[in-house]
Structure 1
Amino acid sequence: MPHLQFETTAAVDSAAKHAFTDEITDVYADRMATGTGHVAVTVRALENASFSLGRLEPGEDAVMLNADVRAGRSFDRQRSFVRDAFEVAHGRWGVPTENMYAVVTEHGGEQFHEYDRVLSSWGEHEAEDSAD
């Protein structure tokens, strides 16, 4: 179960969060070759003073993505997702892509727990059958 955590200083209401999480879930599933049933997305809108990214001037909107994902995917898959996620955030929230930062952390599948199961690490078979 990937956990994709987005924090932003952009003003984002509930409807915009829902639309964003739906789109990001689909982008993740496509770029990372998996299903959508286990993808968790959180969006936190922060006050500007609660967010600092060294290269930004005070008051500029920004986005931070922390992506906890299952081990097994190539750097190119990860990079494709991050860049596309930035484009989605830019399109929906108007934050310049140069004001975005991401950290991707890989975990073995056994570190992802659902109530009724523990996941396995990602494998190429998911690219073929979109396993959840």
Structure 2
Amino acid sequence: MPHLQFEINKKLNKESKKKFVSFVEESFSKIMETGKDHIAVSIRELGDTNLSLGRAKNEFICLMNLDIRAGRTNKQKLKLIKTLISGVEKFFFIKKIHQYVTITNHNGLDFNFYEKSLADWVKNDDPANS
């Protein structure tokens, strides 16, 4: 059950956010070889002075925290990072060089629905529906 968090220091358009969430779900599912129904996405819109990234002076920025189940390859993670950064630029007009990503790997048991914990990741799983 990934929790993909995006902190952005600008006001965002409602339609752009909806399209972005769909893009994130589709991209994550494809790249990470898993279903979509367990993907959690948070978008936090903060004031323009509430975030900082050293090389982005007086610019809009996006900080991403991606909590995912362990087991993915470095190639998968790098592709996800590049895809999400490109998506933030496309949907929210934030330059690629003004974005920063942190990935944290968790065991499946760290992710929980009301009715169950998730298992560790295996290729092409669909944990919300199994």
State whether TM-score is above 0.5. Answer: yes
Give the secondary structure class of the aligned counterpart of 1:101: strand
Q: Which residue of 2 aligns with 1:40?
A: 40
Q: Which residue of 1 aligns with 2:14?
A: 14
Superposed, 1:75-94 pairs within 5 Å as 75-94=74-93
Shift of 1:117: 1.1
Deviation sequence 1:51-71 (CA, Å, 0-9, x none)? 0011111x2011111000001
Shift of 1:13: 2.5
Moved >4 Å (runs of 4+): none
Q: Which residue of 2 aligns with 1:131?
A: 126
Output the CA distance in 2 between the equivalents of 1:18 and 1:115.
25
Give the secondary structure class of the aligned counterpart of 2:85: helix
Output the CA distance in 2 between the equivalents of 1:89 and 1:51.
16
Deviation sequence 1:21-61 (CA, Å, 0-9, x none)? 1111111111111010000001011111000011111x201
Aligned residues: 127
Shift of 1:15: 2.3
Shift of 1:10: 3.2
Please list every run of 5 or more consecutive structure 1 residues that lacks an aligned counterpart in the other structure: none
Query: Which is worse superposed, 105-114 or 14-23?
Result: 14-23
1:4–1:42 Cα contact (<8 Å) kept: yes
* RMSD, aligned α-carbons: 1.1
Output the CA distance in 1 between the equivalents of 2:94 and 2:11.
10
Give the secondary structure class of the aligned counterpart of 1:51: coil
TM-score between both structures, scaled by the size of structure 1: 0.92
Query: Which amino acid in 1 is paired with 2:113?
Result: E
Q: Which residue of 2 aligns with 1:96?
A: 95
TM-score between both structures, scaled by the size of structure 2: 0.93
What percentage of residue pairs aligned between the two structures are identical?
28
Please list every run of 5 or more consecutive structure 2 residues that lacks an aligned counterpart in the other structure: none
Pair 1:52 & 2:52 matched = yes
1:10–1:95 Cα contact (<8 Å) kept: no
